[in-house]
Amino acid sequence: MKNIVVFLGPAGSGKTSLTAAFGRWLKAKMLIPSTYVNLDPGVEYLPYRPDVDVRDYVTVEKVMQDYKLGPNGALLKSAEIACKHLPEIREKVEKYPSPYVLVDTPGQMELFLYRDFGPRFVEEFREVGYIIGVVILDPTLVAKAHDVVSLKLQAMIVSLRLGIDAIPVVNKADAQTFNPRLLTDAAYLREQLAGTKGLSSEISERILELLDEYRLAIRIPLISSITGQGLEELYDLLHEIFCACGDLT
Amino acid sequence: MKNIVVFLGPAGSGKTSLTAAFGRWLKAKMLIPSTYVNLDPGVEYLPYRPDVDVRDYVTVEKVMQDYKLGPNGALLKSAEIACKHLPEIREKVEKYPSPYVLVDTPGQMELFLYRDFGPRFVEEFREVGYIIGVVILDPTLVAKAHDVVSLKLQAMIVSLRLGIDAIPVVNKADAQTFNPRLLTDAAYLREQLAGTKGLSSEISERILELLDEYRLAIRIPLISSITGQGLEELYDLLHEIFCACGDLT
């Protein structure tokens, strides 16, 4: 059984560069080779060499031309076409001996999460290995305590929709200064929420308490694909779940 | 102060047709005229006549050509450009006397929710009126009890990220038969979760209890833009919040 890491996150969160950086780190520091899988039919440039590439079957630009669709329609259509090729993609991945499979997902997270693509991927790959989702936000999206709650809820949605474990991370740690205590210090985060008036702060506080009680996502690694910061912490978190063959879902 | 309804949902959930159908219903049944605002720079065809249209400033296809970007990059760039025109869009909207403003958002929800576009829109329009988000999923996405929890969490994220009230709805009621009790009967939903093994079911159950305790999203309207089913229920829910000038956020 392989260790399958699926990188998810909204457009612009840096899924692709994190896929590349984590693969390089695994190879350099742990001497673990990875199979790189690109599932984004719309990507133009990849900073890693994909071993298996959905663009061999479908690209958004070709779908726009062939079906005379606008960008919205073409994105949906290409996710649909990609879906049909999952069995072939799986076969190709199985031929690689590497213990880790790093999966880069469509630029728009919702094409994977809220269409058949994600659930069908998980269905297809469950027998190939144990699957963990890494849910990425960038620091501009976690400026306030409320945002950190949103990130944890987003990871929870990934976990519920796909039926896999999901780890929230914050990427681009290098690009921006912000308050890391919001990510690392659960008590501090709750304090900040308590200091914010309104019903949604109160609800957020209670949801956090509940997630903390299950020890879900207490640590949120702060990562940089450029400096390598946080990659070891991410590896440790993944490793913990792969070893336990996680019972979170 | 106007009543501003923002239609949000992942690609393919039927935001645009619901915007049109709700506007038609408001006019026909309540004799209330609406101002239609299109914020999707990527849309090709609209089933309503937009009074204010972001495409007067930016379209994804033009951005692809002008900036030589692929579809992913062009979507991000066009959201960025759209953002800059929000003050002009606001001025235009203010010139219309209609009490309701119906706002259709980008095809890809995350361009609005997880970029500056959504927060900046809310900032700009807060003084124009009271804003409520309608978070739309289609029935294929609420087939299981877990999915209904995801929908409620998605509405919660919208509420936290944008600082507005958010109502979850299920669209395309006409297109598919599924179990409506999951949406209308909170006790039944909890029973279904209790019957599903695993930690995430247990957590989901407890999150639901918590949301129910705050009477958040107990009713999820089941809507059809084609038959008009559920539009009155949606109106009642919106009206309730507009009248109370909601204190949910």
Q: Give the tens place of pLDDT for each residue, B57-77.
A: 999 999 999 999 988 899 999
pLDDT digits (tens, 9 = 90+) for B78-122: 999 999 999 999 999 999 999 999 999 999 999 999 999 999 999
DSSP B29: H
Taking only the tens place, the pLDDT of each residue in B157-190 is 999 899 999 999 999 887 766 777 888 787 888 8
Question: What is the pLDDT at residue B147?
Answer: 86
CA distance B31 to chain A (A): 33
Cα–Cα nearest to A242, from A118, A90, A132: A132
Q: Which ipTM was obtained for this model?
A: 0.88
Cβ-defined contact of A153 to B153 (cutoff 8 Å): yes
Nearest CB neighbour to B161, from listed A113, A114, A150? A150
Strand runs labelled E in chain B: 2-8, 34-38, 52-53, 100-104, 129-137, 165-170
Contact A44 B70 (CB under 8 A): yes
Q: Where are the domains of chain A?
A: 2-52+88-244
Q: What's the CATH code, domain A2-52+88-244?
A: 3.40.50.300
CATH-assigned architecture of domain B2-244: 3-Layer(aba) Sandwich (3.40)
Residue B48 has pLDDT above 90, yes or no: yes
- CA dihedral for A179, A180, A182, A185, sign (positive or negative): negative
Q: What is the pLDDT of residue A31?
A: 97
| Strands A165-170, A34-38: pairing kind | unpaired
Q: Which residue has the tokens 């395309």?
A: B172
- Of residues B73, B137, B147, nearest to A44 (C-beta): B73
What is the Cα–Cα distance from B155 to B10, expressed in whole angstroms? 12
Cβ-defined contact of B108 to A40 (cutoff 8 Å): no
Residue-level pLDDT, tens digit, chain A, 249 residues: 899 999 999 988 999 999 999 999 999 999 999 999 999 999 999 999 999 999 999 999 999 999 999 888 999 999 999 999 999 999 999 999 999 999 999 999 999 999 999 999 999 999 999 999 999 998 888 888 888 888 889 998 999 899 999 999 999 887 766 777 888 787 888 888 888 777 778 888 888 888 878 766 567 899 999 999 999 999 999 999 998 864 443
Distance CA B5, CA B57 (A): 22
- Please provide the average confidence, as pLDDT, over all residues in chain B: 90
* Interface residue of A16, A44, A67, A110 to substitute, partner B, most B CBs within 10 Å: A110
Cβ pairs bridging A and B (under 8 Å): 166
End-to-end CA distance of chain A: 18
